Amino acid sequence: MSFMTPEQFTAANKANLETLFGLTNKAFEGVEKLVELNLQVAKAALGETAENAKAVLAVKDAQELLALQAGLLQPTAEKAAAYSRHLYDIATATSAEVTKAAESQFAELQQKFMSAVDTATKNAPAGTENAVTLVKSAITAANNAYESVHKAAKQAADIAEANFNAVTTTAVKASQAASKSAKRAA
């Protein structure tokens, strides 16, 4: 069996450190996008609040006030849905980058492990063929299990995204209907 040389050990540590810093940078990029989104929302909300306050001060009667309130309801729901969508997109993109890096690392570790197993089997003493076959079968079963779990997680994420989109669409449509009803009542 072979051991890592100091050069291989140094290279492995360097690669792990680069991966760590890459993942850290991706996480910070996600946080930066989130902060930027929140600043945009806060700035827009401040401007809208000023405009709405001016509009309320310009109201002449109760009917006009009800119509104004109904008109403000729909855009607020749509903006909340858009904000949620942006949050979801940022989280999904950041998660995808981390997953991609983790899968790459896993594939590399798996390849190295299989290489080590192959080397060990070549140097295995006679009569250990059954043990070697058992180890290879266990590795294959573990890989198949990982792939099944990964596929199931991907399907669950796809279903969650579809549900998120459906709920967001339903909420926006409900606010539009409520806004139209309120405008008719006014």
pLDDT per residue, tens digit, the chain (186 aa), is 445 677 877 877 787 788 888 888 888 898 999 999 999 999 998 998 899 889 888 988 888 888 888 777 777 778 888 888 898 889 888 888 888 877 777 777 777 777 777 777 777 777 777 777 777 787 788 778 877 877 877 787 778 777 777 777 776 676 666 666 655 665
Residue 179's pLDDT is 61
pTM (global) more than 0.95: no
Q: Which residues of 99-130 are buried (b: 16+ CB within 10 A; e: fewer)?
A: eeeeeeeeeeeeeeeeeeeeeeeeeeeeeeee
- Residue 2's H or E segment, with its range, is none
Going by the DSSP 8-state scheme, the letter that residue 61 receives in this structure is S
Q: How far is CA 168 from CA 42, 131, 182, in A?
A: 21, 55, 21
- Give me the pLDDT at residue 1, please: 44
Q: How far apart are CA 58 and CA 64, in angstroms?
A: 10
What is the DSSP annotation of 37-104?
HHHHHHHHHHHHHHHHHHHHHT--SHHHHHHHHHHHHHHHHHHHHHHHHHHHHHHHHHHHHHHHHHHH
Alpha carbon 65 to its chain's center: 42
Rg of the chain over Cα atoms, rounded to whole angstroms, equals 28
Residue 185: predicted pLDDT: 60
Q: Where are the beta strands (DSSP E) in 31-109?
A: none
Which among 114, 115, 119 has a CA at the least distance from the CA of 139? 114
State the residue for tokens 């991907």.
154
Residues in the chain: 186
- Give me the pLDDT at residue 39, please: 93
**What type of residue sits at position 54?**
K
